[in-house]
Structure 1
Amino acid sequence: MAFSNLVTDLPVKGKTYKFYDLTALNDPRYEKLPISIRYLLEAAVRYCDDFHVKKADVETILNWEEMQTAQAEIPFKPARVILQDFTGVPAVVDLAAMRDAVQQMGADPAKINPVCPVDLVIDHSVQVDAYGSLDALAKNQAIEFERNKERFNFLKWGSKAFDNLLIVPPGSGIVHQVNLEYLARTVFADKDNILYPDSVVGTDSHTTMIDGCGVLGWGVGGIEAEAVMLGQPISMVIPEVVGYELTGTLPSVATSTDLVLTITKNLRDLGVVGKFVEFFGEGCASLSIADRATIANMCPEYGATVGFFPVDKRTIDYLHQTGREEEMITRTEAYLRANNLFVDYADPNFRPNYTTVLKLDLSTIVPCVSGPKRPHDRVDLDKLHKEFNEGLGAKISFKGFGLKPEEISKSVKISVDGHDTHLEHGSVVISAITSCTNTSNPSVMLAAGLVARKAIKAGLKVPSFVKTSLSPGSGVVTKYLEASGLLPDLQKLGYHIAGYGCMTCIGNSGPLHEAVSAAIEENNLVVSGVLSGNRNFEGRIHPLVRANYLASPPLVVVYGLAGNVNKDIFNEPIGHNEQGNAVYFKDIWPSRDEIAEFEEKYVMPQFFKEVYETVETGSPEWQQLETPQVKLYPWDKASTYIKKVPFFENMTKELPKQSDIQSAYVLLNLGDSVTTDHISPAGNISKTSPAARFLASKGLSPKDFNTYGARRGNDEIMARGTFANIRLVNKLASKVGPQTTHVPSGEELDIFDAAERYQKEGHSVIILAGKEYGCGSSRDWAAKGPFLQGVKAVIAESFERIHRSNLIGMGIVPLQFTQGQNADSLGLTGKEQYSIEIPETLKAGDILKVHVSNGNSFDVLCRFDTEVELTYYRHGGILQYMIRKLIQ
């Protein structure tokens, strides 16, 4: 290796390790680099072979201050990959299909095998079917296995057929919390005792949560992650780094959730897409690792690549608290200190050179929520009722619901399990303590328990129409809630444990009570969900719940008790007890000191050890799964869950011929902030959808349809589920929903049916879109689905980072309107035909010409940002490139 002269011994308690000593570069630029950039530098130095990683790449990173705005491309090899099952199943399906393709081309299928550690946590399959009872957990886990046995069997096969693939079974917790508490290494020691920083890319956008404990990590597309598994470095543009200086301490009434929602808004306003954010300042020292992880988790919502907290003494304390081995902790601190990667946030002299610096005084944070349709739309808690009420009659937008004046005061009487009650606009029908963002944080989880205890003492109850659930991120949460005696208080209010998984935040909220559903649908009610999650896009949480607010776990309980978001939470009573006495917010809200006392007393290291000792064993149901001991997967043609993908059919060793896009029709004409939930929903399969018709043709009844997320291993269903979100707004459709106009005939069809007809007629299709196309969760099917529908290009005002990467990975061309232009400004209706010139000499960042059938033409920026991305495109996609590379 080019920098082997930097390898230095590091003695730690009688054992000698080795490491690449970056200080031995004797380069004054090193000490000025942000810590996150030093991590990129270390990986480049360690892997520098002047082939995959060149000395020039190392120099580019060292020269970060000059190169950060130059769009300079660098390679990065992360230490490991992490997956969850929604994205993990299609990744393993792809790998299995790649093995078949390699064998068909006469090469060894075993060449398709992860070369770096891959951890897959099954956490997205459990749904809130049962709730509000002690047996909810057992029932939901039993249903989860019944629904997903075939998927789980496939994943268990993968863990045996592929080396370096660890499966964490269902029921263990949420991927990011398990990563934080158990999987994260902080510093790796390889077989040669060489130490290096832990870094990870994951197929879930909230992989960034791990940045809270000093592990550099971010989300990538599933397709890109597969290439990393197979040894390919990530090609990335060296990022700008925003330094976010935190000062002061949080006031007693505020939580880390309030802090992160404020940070999310501030960074969204600044604009940090494609940038690193690195936190520093004495305020960081007052934040626990769980607090930092909460902030890092929401990184996709503020748009950055990472939200990084370098390792300090508090990180080391957290490793002790979570039961890591003493030897690992000792060598971790010794290595980081030796390489100047360890920080003291209280040291005013620690101030690397950042691109720009933002400041926040923690003492200014006030209680807040975000919503009703986007996670970065922060609302002060005392203004929520006013904003919601104004939004009811406002035109449909991110804040408005478009109700007629006569509809706004509507109230509907219903009976729920023998309790007479009424529903109105703002009624909280889902109150869920859920998601990795907050369930990893003992302070807010204990605060929720304390709110429940005080509410019970005050005589409050949760209204019967509220669907309550508690989804801990790991078994550790249950341990400390039990030890503190707060779990029974939560249960008395209906917050029984429903499962250990993502659940409500991913859209696995399960059905509402029939009377509630009927009242909403028949009366056009704008009801609400309040959840401690990180995503609240339209149609994601539940198709009938239009207003969804992200809140801290204690606020979830408060609003569950209040029963409506259209209430002045600080001045109106939360509710009344049986004696008719009013109970207010201040009566049930715990102080920060109370919460801290419980955390210090009941969050114990032994809980982490007890939970994670057996985490890889799984439940008896998991252990009983029997899988074939073969390297090539025996595909079952009758399966509606696992199917061999068609991406590699008829693939040859030679590159496919590149051609222009000729006379393409517009499949969809979309506006701003079209999310991956709009493109590839993960929730329930509508009974009237093309996917439902396909499943019915296979003899399945609606109760067995499961979700799109659970069926990501079957391309037939996922192609039909592409753009199937009932809240999709398409300018080529007469109403909101998953329809479009088939332009040649003028007929309005389901989007899949229109795409299928275009393909049969031999027509290519493209998509027109506005700003932030593909924002939200990292979903490879949001690119794979359009590919199977025949989409050749997307022309948008801007793209979300991961989704643009996924489009390229599937051979779809991402094109960007030039500054100040969009479909409307150019007078495009979407009913024209479009031809796009793609020259053989295409280079990254070229301007291309689009010719429209109405005689006009316009320029677009080709968003292949690097030469590597162009290479993937010329191969027809990243996986095709990997196959050809591995069989050379």
Structure 2
Amino acid sequence: MTTNSFGAKDTLSVGDRSYEVFRLDALQSQYDVARLPYSLKVLLENLLRTEGNGSVTKEQIEALATWDAKAEPADEIAFTPARVVLQDFTGVPAVVDLAAMRDAMGELGGDPSKIEPLVPAELVIDHSVQVDAFGNAQAFAFNAEKEFERNKERYQFLRWGQEAFESFKVVPPDTGIVHQVNLEYLSRSVFVNDRTGQAYPDTLVGTDSHTTMVNGLGVLGWGVGGIEAEAAMLGQPIPMLIPNVIGFRLKGELREGATATDLVLTVTELLRKTGVVGKFVEFFGEGVTRLPLADRATIGNMSPEFGSTAAIFPIDAETIRYMAFTGRPKEQLELVEAYAKAQGLWHDPSEEPTFSQVVELDLGDVVPSIAGPKRPQDRVSLSVAKDAFRSSLGDLLHGDDGPSGPYDKALDNSFPASDPPSAAEPSGSNGSAAHPVEAAAGDHHHGTAVLESKTSVQVEYDGRTFPLDHGHVVIAAITSCTNTSNPSVMVAAGLVARKAAALGLNRKPWVKTSLAPGSMVVTDYLERAGLNVDLDALGFNLVGYGCTTCIGNSGPLPEPISKAVNEADLSVTSVLSGNRNFEGRISPDVKMNYLASPPLVVAYALAGTMDFDFEVDPLGQDQAGNDVFLKDVWPTTQEVAQTVEECLQADMFRSSYAQVFDGDENWRNLDVPTGDRYAWDASSTYVQKAPYFDGMPADPEPVQDIAGARVLAKLGDSVTTDHISPAGSIKRDAPAGTYLEGRGVKPADFNSYGSRRGSHDVMIRGTFANIRLRNQLAPGTEGGVTRYLLDDGALPAGETTSIFEASEAYQKADVPLVVLGGKEYGSGSSRDWAAKGTNLLGVRAVITESFERIHRSNLVGMGVLPLQFPDGESAESLGLTGEEAFTITGLAGPLNAGELPKTVQVQAGDVSFEARVRIDTPKEADYYRHGGILRYVLRQLVAAG
């Protein structure tokens, strides 16, 4: 029952049905709630409806109703999402934890059946398929078969969960990407609770940061770690501070040749510069009305890349059109429109709500762009992409070895006769070209000196011989929910392929090409337009329905190419239509990664190198020997729009999603365990009982200050969750590889870290083990290594060892650990294992200059203390080497007294400073006192009987 202090409960009749609703205008006589941004109106309704649930109070409602747009966030509210969405990498450990909680519930004398999702939870298996086969018609079937071979045990476990938990559904593998399936099928826009008869805004949290894609549909939701999602599934409201809301005014319309990808890269760059971490971004203005919903979803998808919690578009006529087109029933459409208009949630482009800040973009200023080579916010206009690449390459090469190091070499960009040189690849008397960074401004560091030797390596592969060099594009992937959900850019890619194939062009032989759509609908409309044939002709054959290259499942490069890259230490590149291009993410062989629209991915596959200027360099020659340029194969906006209109039909969505939960024969024929409690297999290296409840007392023990801690890792700026959480392939000589071989697993069967997220023994060994991690405590190294700082004989004192081995030794000596970091610590995907692994390594506190939202929250949720250096200070400015012993005081007293300390005192060797405590809300303080959110929830459920 709701307390209903403001008399907001009412009914709304739509068609022949009445719904219970909580009207926002019931507060208008006391508070000017009409001025609130759309996103805060959604939160306000959420509080009105859940008032009196033990977490939501009248005071919270008043705080939101009287929101001060300019104030620093300070008021806590409790948000209750309507549903939870998971993907399999983060979903498997979530279900593992729920299964372990059922066991722990029984051991504490409670009823295990009480561990049950109280809100709908839907999991889409999309993160497991890898690009093993590519460039042929059998690639999809081969990759799907390999996926089931590798992941059978995980899939059996998920099938068990689907049967054991009533409110848990699974979309089987080879169906689509979670965010695209969520956008096209799962989302309701207005949620109807048949049990209560209530209608309210569809809201959610998801175990993937790109959950924000559905913001384009007017659905408020964002990514959280698996631990937060599990608590939400169990009915726990999510504590949050009422955020600042940045208004983003759009005006004008996109120019000819500009795509939704170019737009979102521009938005990402602008909002990163604005600074929106932890804030909501809300789009408004006349320009919104000119954006198709797919373009809005593309922008919402990239919210984590510019750092905001959400990036939302209000409901309008385009929302209704899209829902109708994607097969939602008429009754749902009528409800969404009626509810949005009744609640003041319908977008009026002439109105401007009250915002904390307003930024503006004229859509006409958007130009073709790429982003890279390391971060999605590093946008580069296509017109200067070649020079930017050369500058970045110079920084990469000389930054590693200095101007006179082994990289101080010329490039050989000469091509075999079958691939004649372009203007970008001038042949001299010896067939070599100038160093690719020579044209960039700057000194010798940027490659302006005349260089003599060559770096080109001759490679024999697939019956051809060709040179491989710095900057060559070895991966070109049309991938990721960000862009494959958008018909305009997918059709544009197909049209580029059609025009190029008709002129006799093809991808360069060293390029691994792939097409991995986010839903089967994409295949349907490409086939209806005949564009699949053209994409296949250039090697962009279907490889699977899943995230693939965007999450690092690019699969191995062909062996001769991989060997050449590693033996010559070449800085080769990837180009993908994804959302993430962090170091070490895409492929262990590739150092430079660029985000681009699907049609530009095709263009770069044709060019074969990033050292390319599309305005002056030909892609190749046609059958008559004439140069072919990008402008010759680039479709017009009208061509794209006409093709989309002809090939994309509403019936495709209805047929593709008719049996979305059924799966194929492989899925249906799995041998599935039964019973309400999972029968753990002690020999499993995929699914293990979670250790977080081992030895847990019924009541939490008092919080203690931290004394005598040592530094496990001292890290720099922009350390992402990809650097922290295990991801990608498992190396044989890594601690996780050694462990698996010791358990009888052959290296060929290691699979990826993501696929083994249900095994804490594997994951703890891969935490902080990213091949590109640079631990300043072990200078000159790269990867998951540190120095052991105790002289106790457990390990050689002061010598380099793996982070896992050092952690084991420290924990045996009962020595707590800390991690030091710089700015934007924990940016990137919502990887719960970045926090879980940190906890299991024995890290008690992480001290940084700043955190990104999700990872900070997850650290608290795992009982790890997040601290920030004083404003303007850093490990470097304080003179910290990482060799000091750390003592942290002033934490235990306030927390044990039920208070939330703002600062603690840190003594590190001879250095003393006051650190800011980033436990941001009273509810988070409760989680920390209990040793994490899962222990808190379990104890609450036990106490409730």
For the pair 1:588 / 2:633, whether they are aligned, the reply is yes
Looking at structure 2, the residues matched to 2 and 648 of structure 1 have their Cα atoms a distance apart, in angstroms, of 35
Please show how residues 763-782 of structure 1 align to structure 2 within 5 Å: 763-782=815-834
Aligned partner of 1:714 in structure 2 is 759
Q: Is the 8 A contact 1:60 1:67 kept in 2?
A: no
1:11 deviates by: 2.1
Partner AA of 1:500 in structure 2: Y
Partner AA of 1:654 in structure 2: D
1:149 deviates by: 0.4
Aligned partner of 2:525 in structure 1 is 480
Q: Is the 8 A contact 2:715 2:774 kept in 1?
A: yes
**Quick one: which of 154, 157, 160 aligns to 2:160?**
157
Partner AA of 1:150 in structure 2: E
**Quick one: which of 889, 914, 918 aligns to 1:863?**
918
1:408 deviates by: 4.5
Partner AA of 2:643 in structure 1: F
1:570 deviates by: 1.4
Looking at structure 1, the residues matched to 879 and 33 of structure 2 have their Cα atoms a distance apart, in angstroms, of 51
Looking at structure 2, the residues matched to 538 and 692 of structure 1 have their Cα atoms a distance apart, in angstroms, of 21
**Quick one: which of 445, 451, 455 aligns to 2:496?**
451
Aligned partner of 1:20 in structure 2 is 22
- Deviations along 1:350-395, whole A, 9 cap, x unmatched? 1111111001000010000111011111111111111111222226
For the pair 1:841 / 2:894, whether they are aligned, the reply is yes
Partner AA of 1:779 in structure 2: R
Looking at structure 2, the residues matched to 401 and 428 of structure 1 have their Cα atoms a distance apart, in angstroms, of 25
**Quick one: which of 38, 42, 46 aligns to 1:39?**
42
Looking at structure 1, the residues matched to 231 and 879 of structure 2 have their Cα atoms a distance apart, in angstroms, of 40
Q: Is the 8 A contact 1:845 1:863 kept in 2?
A: no
* Root mean square deviation, CA, Å: 1.5
Residue 408 of structure 2 aligns to a residue whose secondary structure is helix
Partner AA of 2:519 in structure 1: S
Residue 420 of structure 1 aligns to a residue whose secondary structure is strand
1:856 deviates by: 2.3
1:50 deviates by: 6.5
Aligned partner of 1:677 in structure 2 is 722
**Quick one: which of 247, 256, 279 aligns to 1:275?**
279
**Quick one: which of 821, 825, 831 aligns to 2:877?**
825
Unaligned runs of 5+ in 1: none
Residue 602 of structure 2 aligns to a residue whose secondary structure is helix
Partner AA of 2:785 in structure 1: Q
- Deviations along 1:835-871, whole A, 9 cap, x unmatched? 1112321443511111122x22111101111111111
Report the identity percentage.
53
Could you say if the C-alpha distance between residues 427 and 647 of structure 1 is closer, same or farther in structure 2, counting changes exceeding 3 Å? same
For the pair 1:194 / 2:183, whether they are aligned, the reply is no
Looking at structure 2, the residues matched to 50 and 725 of structure 1 have their Cα atoms a distance apart, in angstroms, of 43
For the pair 1:64 / 2:64, whether they are aligned, the reply is no
Partner AA of 2:876 in structure 1: D
Please show how residues 454-533 of structure 1 align to structure 2 within 5 Å: 454-533=499-578
Partner AA of 1:884 in structure 2: R
Could you say if the C-alpha distance between residues 405 and 136 of structure 1 is closer, same or farther in structure 2, counting changes exceeding 3 Å? closer
- Deviations along 1:435-491, whole A, 9 cap, x unmatched? 000000000000000000010112101111100000010000000000011010000
Aligned partner of 1:419 in structure 2 is 464
For the pair 1:83 / 2:83, whether they are aligned, the reply is no
Residue 698 of structure 2 aligns to a residue whose secondary structure is coil
Looking at structure 2, the residues matched to 565 and 393 of structure 1 have their Cα atoms a distance apart, in angstroms, of 13
Could you say if the C-alpha distance between residues 194 and 138 of structure 1 is closer, same or farther in structure 2, counting changes exceeding 3 Å? same
Looking at structure 1, the residues matched to 583 and 399 of structure 2 have their Cα atoms a distance apart, in angstroms, of 9
Residue 106 of structure 1 aligns to a residue whose secondary structure is coil
1:17 deviates by: 2.4
Partner AA of 1:58 in structure 2: I
Q: Is the 8 A contact 2:254 2:366 kept in 1?
A: yes
- Deviations along 1:207-265, whole A, 9 cap, x unmatched? 00000010001011111111111111010010000000000000011000000000000
Looking at structure 2, the residues matched to 375 and 532 of structure 1 have their Cα atoms a distance apart, in angstroms, of 11
Question: What number of residue pairs does the alignment pair up?
Answer: 884
- Range with greater deviation from structure 2 (730-739 or 200-209): 730-739
Q: Is the 8 A contact 1:393 1:400 kept in 2?
A: no
Residue 407 of structure 1 aligns to a residue whose secondary structure is coil
TM superposition score normalised by structure 2: 0.92
Looking at structure 2, the residues matched to 17 and 738 of structure 1 have their Cα atoms a distance apart, in angstroms, of 55
**Quick one: which of 230, 238, 244 aligns to 1:240?**
244
Aligned partner of 1:850 in structure 2 is 906
Q: Is the 8 A contact 2:398 2:407 kept in 1?
A: no
Q: Is the 8 A contact 2:878 2:911 kept in 1?
A: no
Q: Is the 8 A contact 1:770 1:822 kept in 2?
A: yes
Q: Is the 8 A contact 2:70 2:356 kept in 1?
A: no
For the pair 1:873 / 2:928, whether they are aligned, the reply is yes
Could you say if the C-alpha distance between residues 397 and 797 of structure 1 is closer, same or farther in structure 2, counting changes exceeding 3 Å? farther
Partner AA of 1:738 in structure 2: G
Aligned partner of 1:375 in structure 2 is 376
Please show how residues 278-357 of structure 1 align to structure 2 within 5 Å: 278-345=282-349, 348=350, 350-357=351-358
Aligned partner of 1:365 in structure 2 is 366
1:26 deviates by: 3.0
Could you say if the C-alpha distance between residues 68 and 310 of structure 1 is closer, same or farther in structure 2, counting changes exceeding 3 Å? farther
- Deviations along 1:747-769, whole A, 9 cap, x unmatched? 10011111111111221111011
Residue 753 of structure 2 aligns to a residue whose secondary structure is coil
Aligned partner of 1:686 in structure 2 is 731
Q: Is the 8 A contact 1:68 1:239 kept in 2?
A: no
Q: Is the 8 A contact 1:205 1:777 kept in 2?
A: yes
- Range with greater deviation from structure 2 (423-432 or 735-744): 735-744
1:194 deviates by: 1.6
Aligned partner of 1:266 in structure 2 is 270
Looking at structure 1, the residues matched to 684 and 771 of structure 2 have their Cα atoms a distance apart, in angstroms, of 27
Aligned partner of 1:653 in structure 2 is 698
Partner AA of 2:369 in structure 1: C
Aligned partner of 2:586 in structure 1 is 541
Partner AA of 1:144 in structure 2: E
Detail structure 1 runs of 4+ shifted over 6 Å in the superposition.
Answer: 396-403
Aligned partner of 1:216 in structure 2 is 220
For the pair 1:761 / 2:813, whether they are aligned, the reply is yes
1:771 deviates by: 0.5
1:406 deviates by: 2.6
TM superposition score normalised by structure 1: 0.98
Looking at structure 2, the residues matched to 464 and 676 of structure 1 have their Cα atoms a distance apart, in angstroms, of 34
Aligned partner of 1:253 in structure 2 is 257
Q: Is the 8 A contact 1:9 1:17 kept in 2?
A: yes
Looking at structure 2, the residues matched to 78 and 637 of structure 1 have their Cα atoms a distance apart, in angstroms, of 36
Q: Is the 8 A contact 2:718 2:825 kept in 1?
A: yes
Could you say if the C-alpha distance between residues 248 and 67 of structure 1 is closer, same or farther in structure 2, counting changes exceeding 3 Å? closer
Aligned partner of 2:682 in structure 1 is 637
- Deviations along 1:160-205, whole A, 9 cap, x unmatched? 1112101111011000000000000111111243210100100100
Aligned partner of 2:140 in structure 1 is 137
1:404 deviates by: 4.8
For the pair 1:811 / 2:857, whether they are aligned, the reply is no
Residue 294 of structure 2 aligns to a residue whose secondary structure is helix
Residue 383 of structure 1 aligns to a residue whose secondary structure is helix
Looking at structure 1, the residues matched to 154 and 18 of structure 2 have their Cα atoms a distance apart, in angstroms, of 44
Looking at structure 2, the residues matched to 37 and 102 of structure 1 have their Cα atoms a distance apart, in angstroms, of 37
- Deviations along 1:58-105, whole A, 9 cap, x unmatched? 101101126852411111101001000000000000000011111001
Partner AA of 1:829 in structure 2: T
Aligned partner of 1:750 in structure 2 is 802
Unaligned runs of 5+ in 2: 412-454, 791-796
Q: Is the 8 A contact 1:433 1:553 kept in 2?
A: yes
Looking at structure 2, the residues matched to 558 and 50 of structure 1 have their Cα atoms a distance apart, in angstroms, of 55
